[in-house]
Amino acid sequence: MPFKIGSRNIQNILSAPQDLKKCEGEISKLVAGLENVHNREKSFLEQEKRILEHRAIASELKSATADARPRCKAYRKYTSPWRLSENPRPFVRQKNDQIHITPRKGVKIYWAEKCDRIFNTALTVAPSKYDGGYNQASAKISQLNDYIGERIDGVNKRTPLELLEEISNVNIQHKALDRNEVSMSKHQKALGKQYAKQQKYQEREAIKQEMTKAAFALFIEPGTVDYLNRETDKKPKLADTLKNVSRSDIIQLLNDGFANHPSDSTSTYRYETCLSKKEINLYKNRINDKGSVLIDKFMPVDPAPSASKDSNVVFMIEGTPSEAEADGNRYKVFRHGGRYIPESVNVADDGKTHIHLRQVRSSMSRD
């Protein structure tokens, strides 16, 4: 065992499965993020390569973008010429064999488009003198970037100036690559920390499994259940892995272990115990208000333990217990702190009170 079990680290061991699951979730996110960073790097390198291959088109688009920026910053709409407007997503077309970027579609296209809508014509569909040169600009810019090229193919397509600058300026790609390199370094560093945590949590989970195995063996030792159910303070002989573990932590350890070991089938089981009249009345009252009862004890049901001479109550429990194995012996037990709905309370011929309980679904073991 990597370290001695003590009160300060037992909670870390008990929570190890949850911590490990959370850690693995963070690792999955970081791995996905790192993959996105690698994909962005490929995209930036590909864009840089295209800019260098088509320098003339890139230079033409870069100049057109620079010229268009002040016009797009302040222009007058046809519908409201009395005030200045801004259009950061202008129209990209070709005019006089050059890329032309404007905040407006153009007067001819504006009215031709209205005619298309009113008279169901196709004046703005290329090739046409009213198509605005959008398809020519699209074909040219597609040599730099397929996505942006497809985006501007049509009179209603707008394109952000920032995107046009990015695909035409190799310096922007260099800066993007530098930022991406920083992001990649951060992801790799964070992944390294999470992998270290994962190893630590895996070690703790292995310790918890070893402790759970030792705790399962307690149910085959006489008198141990009474100690766990706080019916006696006499501490039974514990395995080395459990010697410094409190009763409450052993109970949690067992509950966590039993939660993952459900029985194969639901049936009705018998368990004898001792209750006061006040406690028996509580069960009777719950029948009337149809409420549930919390039972803070482990209830071994198969094989059933020998009944105490003081037992005056027989629980007939309908539900799905947990099932575990220790030293080749298999047994079934209802977990500590489960909730049950009383169905009936009757006094049998032997003088014992028989209480029929139905296990609440939320108290059943996890499949």
Range of the domain at 344: 263-363
pLDDT of 124 strictly over 90: no
In a domain, 28, yes or no: no
Q: Report the number of distinct structural domains present in the chain.
A: 1
Q: Is residue 233 part of a domain?
A: no
pLDDT band at 6 (very low <50, low <70, confident <90, very high): low
Residue 200 buriedness (CB in 10 A; 0-12 / 13-18 / 19+): middle
**Alpha-carbon separation of residue 113 from 22, 70, 125, 151 (angstroms):** 56, 26, 10, 19
In a domain, 273, yes or no: yes
Does any domain span residue 310?
A: yes
For the chain, strand residue ranges (E) read 91-95, 98-102, 267-273, 293-295, 299-302, 313-319, 322-326, 329-334, 338-347, 353-359
pLDDT at 25 over 80: yes
Residue 367: predicted pLDDT: 47
Give the CA angle between residues 69, 70, 73 to the nearest 5°.
85
Question: Is residue 287 a part of any domain in this protein?
Answer: yes
Residue 276 reports pLDDT greater than 50:
yes
98, 76, 78: which is closest to 87 by C-alpha? Answer: 76
Structure tokens at 213: 């195995």
193 has a pLDDT exceeding 70: yes
Question: Is residue 169, in this structure, part of any structural domain at all?
Answer: no
Task: Write the CATH number for 290.
Answer: 3.90.176.10
Residue 350 covered by a domain: yes
In a domain, 340, yes or no: yes
User: Residue 210 corresponds to which tokens in the numbers above?
Assistant: 């070893």
